[in-house]
A and B are shown apart, each in its own frame.
Chain A
Amino acid sequence: MADGTRTLISQAQLQRGRGRYLYWALLILVVGGFTLVFLGPLYWMVTGALKSGQEVAQTPPTLWPHDPQLQNYADAWNNLDLAKLMFNTFYYAAGAVFFQLVFDTAAAYALSKLRPVFGNVILGAMLATLMIPAMVLIVPQYVTAIDLPIVHVNLLDSPWALWLPLIANAFNIFLLKRFFDSIPEDLIAAAQVDGASPLRTLWSIILPMSRPILGVVSIFAVTAVWKDFLWPKLVMPSPETRTLSVGIYAFSGGTPMNVVIAASVIAAIPTVIIFLLFQRNIMSGLTSGSLKG
């Protein structure tokens, strides 16, 4: 990242004569182009939902709403019961963060530091699930959720149907285990000499040192719940338990297009805020997880 690092084109070349003009022209082009391509559609979405039905159908389209109607947003909020959907999604996301943190950190800690017999076999079996495409498992997972083996419980419309499969997240366990691996063994040995139990070692030594990675796991849990569609659609079938995305989809058939778009904007606001607040953590988590095994 340091400015001094040499990349494809040398710093000197960019600072002299023709190179300098070219660089600035390119920079303006890229900044303008990217703003148009990545922010433009979002602008179109937010302002489009402010237009009346007539204005949206106008050719050529208007660049900004001439007669802004907050009504579409109000309709979306009231008719689709977005408050309820939003609450559901928040609740599922909060639970997902909690259970992933508890069970995935515990598992990663055991695999990294306690290393019980067959630990490597279990880790291998967990990592192997990363290779299985999600669509392949959707049917047997659904059959499992409607009649849980041994206990014979139906999880439909229960938040556990979302939380339990989310705990089985090999990527999280891998990420956490790698982080724990980097914590020096001496520290843990010292704690043991002082008489700390494994749980205590995890709580007072490992976890405080792992805040960055715990943050990454939490953010990913929230966005995963927020973005997920098919699984919540299948296991949360009744209108009272739906998530935002599923609820909007369910209503999209009989709702005016601008109201659906307004609802989509509202549904996207929380993740966009999370992203703007935590973009550093998200980006570092993304690259640290995928680079070098």
Chain B
Amino acid sequence: MATMTAPGVTTQPAPAPIKKSSKTGRKVRDNLTGHAFLIGAVVCFALFMWFPMVRGIVMSFQRTRRGETSWVGWDNYTRIIADPSFWIAWKNTFLFTALALVVGYVLPFFIAILLNELRHAKGYLRILVYLPVMLPPASALFLFKYYAYDPSDAGLFNAVLKFLHLPTSEWMQSPTMTIPAMVIASTWMNLGSAVLIYLASLQNIPGELYEAAELDGAGVWRRIWNVTIPQTRLILALLAMLQIVATMQLFIEPLILANGAGTQDSATSVAYLIYQHGFFQNDLNGAAALGVIMLIVLAAFSAVYVRLTTKQD
């Protein structure tokens, strides 16, 4: 902190030293000041981001038993992959991600288009859509678990289905409904932010484009297809990416809604498996290996995705 010079020192020509050395001295001092401002954040990044990234990879090739750490090569990976839950977890995670993409990605875009057309109650609707995002996920998920997904006819969803004379469901107790039920809960909790981001980008579309399209005889759907989507292409691509990375880390939904694994392992996710291995089976190294596998899958996916989306240009 000594480098944060007192006011005046930097500007008053220093009386004593020679001009040349004072210039380099000042440069050094300015740099030191800059780094002094950075140091707090840099230390935290080093401790909790950069170092753990390397450490996770290192740990995945080690095994710690009774305080002794040794190198074990690919052992952690083979053990993790041999675990039958490994493939179930990936299957569930991919299924959840795919379903969440179909529902949770398309829906906010159309909600945003709809809200952008309405001339009234704009503020109210925006608040409504974003309200669930502000709830603590644990609170919202207990609501779904106990009230919405109550498998008896007293549950909210079953009561509504019954009222509409539709077949009711056992929700989290039925292995086939577990993932759709988690997708519904997760979409309800998260779609608000995507809607607001789309709304902001819709407002940047020049009105003349719609006007021109209309003069050319394009209907509403054609205008969405030929004007709205191309104009918001970048943000659409970005959010798809972000959403996939987020949904692949599915954790709290299985933990609270399905008590972890769910009926017949129908809820086990990769992130839940990391948690299980690391903090219940006392296998931090196996969990680290699983983390590295997840990182590789996501990185490979992102690479393919970036290539596909940039090719179109």
A and B from one complex: yes
Q: A residues near B, CB below 8 A?
A: 1, 3, 5-11, 14, 23, 26-27, 30-31, 34-35, 37-39, 41-42, 44-45, 48, 56-61, 102-104, 106-107, 109-111, 114-117, 119, 122, 125-126, 129, 131-145, 148-149, 164-165, 167-168, 170, 173, 192-193, 195-200, 202, 223, 226-227, 229-230, 234, 244-246, 248-249, 252, 257, 260-261, 264-265, 267-268, 271-272, 274-276, 279, 282-283, 286-287, 290-291
Minimum C-beta distance from B104 to chain A (A): 14
CA distance A141 to B48 in the complex (A): 6
B220 pairs with A8, CB closer than 8 A:
yes
Determine which of B138, B207, B274, B291 lies in contact with A264 in the assembled complex, contact meaning CB atoms within 8 Å.
B138
B127 at the interface (CB under 8 A from A): yes
Q: Is the CB of A134 within 8 A of B48?
A: no
Q: Which residues of B contact A11 (CB under 8 A)?
A: 119
Can you pick out 18 interface pairs between chain A and chain B where the beta carbons lie within 8 Å of each other? A1-B203, A8-B116, A31-B124, A41-B147, A45-B143, A107-B42, A110-B38, A116-B31, A119-B38, A139-B278, A140-B59, A227-B136, A261-B142, A261-B146, A286-B197, A287-B197, A291-B200, A291-B201
> Apart from A272-B131, A279-B127, A291-B204, what are 15 other A-B pairs with CB-CB below 8 Å?
A27-B120, A45-B143, A110-B38, A116-B30, A138-B278, A142-B279, A149-B47, A167-B41, A192-B10, A230-B251, A271-B136, A276-B127, A282-B130, A287-B197, A290-B235
Pick out which of these stretches binds chain A: B49-57, B77-85, B95-103, B169-177. B49-57
Whether B125 and A274, one on each chain, are in contact in the complex, defined by CB atoms closer than 8 angstroms, is: no
A61 neighbours in B (Cβ, 8 Å): 154-156, 159
Q: B74 in the interface, Cβ–Cβ < 8 Å? A: no
Q: Shortest CB–CB separation between residue B55 and chain A, in angstroms? A: 4
- Inter-chain CA distance A60–B165, complex, in Å, is 13
**Inter-chain contact A234/B50, CB cutoff 8 Å:** no
**CB 8 Å contact bits of B103-126 with A (1 = contact, 0 = none):** 000000000011111111100111
For chain B, give the interface size range.
Answer: 35 or more
- B interface: dominant SS: helix
A283 to B152, CA, bound (A): 39
Contact of B119 among A3, A57, A199, A248 (CB under 8 A): A3
Number of A-B contacts (CB under 8 A): 317
Write out the residue numbers on chain B whose beta carbons fall within 8 Å of the beta carbon of A125: 45, 50
Query: Which of B37, B132, B188, B211 has the most C-beta atoms of chain A within 10 angstroms of its own C-beta?
Result: B37
A198 adjacent to B4 (CB under 8 Å): yes
B56 near A140 with CB under 8 A, answer yes
Find B159's partner among A39, A59, A267, A291 (CB 8 Å cutoff). Answer: A59
If over half of A's interface residues share one DSSP class (helix, strand or loop), that class is named, otherwise mixed; here it is: helix
Alpha-carbon distance A102/B295, docked complex (angstroms) = 32
CB proximity of B246 to chain A, nearest CB, Å:
8
The chain B residue sitting closest to A226, CB to CB, is: B136
Contacts of B31 in A (CB 8 A): 116-117
Nearest-neighbour CB distance to chain B for A110, whole angstroms, equals: 4
* Interface bits B176-193 vs A (CB < 8 Å: 1, else 0): 000000000000100001
Q: What chain B residues lie within 8 Å of A245 (beta carbons)?
A: 136-139
Which of B53, B214, B274 is close to A10, meaning CB atoms less than 8 Å apart?
A: B214
Encoded as 1 (CB less than 8 Å from any A CB) or 0, chain B from 293 to 307 comes to: 011001000100000
Give min CB distance, B226 to chain A, whole Å. 11
Shortest beta-carbon distance from A96 to chain B in Å = 12
Complex-state Cα separation, A283 to B122, whole angstroms = 13
**B136 touching A244, Cβ below 8 Å:** yes
Do the beta carbons of A104 and B41 come within 8 Å of each other?
A: yes
Whether B159 pairs with A8 at a CB distance below 8 angstroms is no
Least Cβ distance of A3 to chain B in Å? 7
CB of B237 closer than 8 Å to a CB of A? no
A268 to B136, CA, bound (A): 6
A283 near B143 (CB under 8 angstroms)? Answer: no
Are A6 and B210 interface neighbours, CB within 8 A? Answer: yes
Say whether, besides A107-B37, A132-B53, A223-B134, A264 and B143 are in contact (CB < 8 Å).
Answer: yes
